[in-house]
Amino acid sequence: MCENCCKGGAAADFTALAPVLEKYGGVKGSLITILQKTQDIYGYLSLDAINYIAANIGVKPAKIYGVATFYTQFRLKPIGKNLIMLCKGTACHVNGADLIEEAVTEFLGISDGETTSDGLFTLNNVACLGCCSLAPVMMVKGADGEETFGNLTKDSVRAVLKEIGDREKGVAV
């Protein structure tokens, strides 16, 4: 993962944040936007990043931490290369989202909120992706953007994960 920004101390480099803080730092009510942009850049909100933002926009770190932990979008830990957003909305629940979660958990050996040891996948259960007619659904966010997979079965979800995994490993080799 990002060795340079989350190790704390002098190594932390937040130059990429400068334009964000310049644009939004002085605009009141922009804290959530700043945190979103920060997460876009680094993939998550490290404690160092929170402290850095706090020092630069004159807000207490505790307040930023409070906001960051209130909203489900914000992560305080790094994520894998592919973020699996498994929909647990009502339609998906009725159509067997639990079985799909079981399949993902078995296949990757991680449960909700965890990342695989090879850093390829993170599993996040989400409330609703809004593709209810295609339930059960999941969205995978990787380097090339998001892709949504619908009408999942235990077999099809395994096939999708295998394909992504193979592709990633192919790139790595």
Partner 1 sequence: MKVVVGQGSCGVATGAKKTSAEFEKHIAAAGLDIPVEKTGCVGNCYLEPIVDIYGDGDVLAARYVRVQPAKVEEIVEKHLKGGSIVEELVISETDEKFLSSQKRIVLRNAGVINPESIDAYIAVGGYKAIEKALKDMSPEEVIEEVKISGLRGRGGAGFPTWFKWDAAKKNRGANKYMVCNADEGDPGAFMDRSVLEGDPHSLLEGMTIGGFAMGANEGVIYVRAEYPLAILRLEMAIEQSRGKGFLGKNLFGTGFDFDIRIKAGAGAFVCGEETALIASLEGERGMPRLKPPFPAEKGFWQQPTNINNVETFANVPWIIANGGAAFGAVGTDKSKGTKVFALAGKIKKGGLVEVPMGLPLKDVIYGIGDGIKNDKAFKAVQMGGPSGGCIPASLIDTPVDYENITKTGAIVGSGGMIVMDETTCMVDMARYFLDFTRKESCGKCNYCRVGTKRMLEILERITRGEGRDGDIELLTELAEKIKDGSMCGLGQTAPNPVLTTIRYFRNEYEDHIYNKKCTAHSCKALLTFEITDKCTGCTLCSRKCPAMAISGERKQKHVIDLDKCIRCGKCEESCNFGAILRD
Residues that bind partner 1 (CB under 8 A): 28-33, 35-36, 66-67, 70-74, 85, 88-91, 93-95, 126-135, 137, 146, 148-150, 154
Report CA dihedral (91, 93, 95, 100) to the nearest 10 degrees: 130
In sequence order, the 6+-apart residues with CB closer than 8 A to the CB of 13 are: 4, 5
Can you say how many angstroms the Cα of residue 162 is from the centroid of all Cα atoms in its chain?
20
Closer by beta carbon to partner 1, 5 or else 85: 85
Say how far apart CA 47 and CA 141 lie, in whole Å: 24
Instruction: For partner 1, give the closer residue by CB, 74 or 121.
Output: 74
Comparison of 6 and 34: residue with beta carbon closer to partner 1: 34
* Smallest distance, partner 1 to C-beta of residue 19, A: 18
Rounded to a whole number of angstroms, the minimum distance from the CB of residue 21 to partner 1 is 14
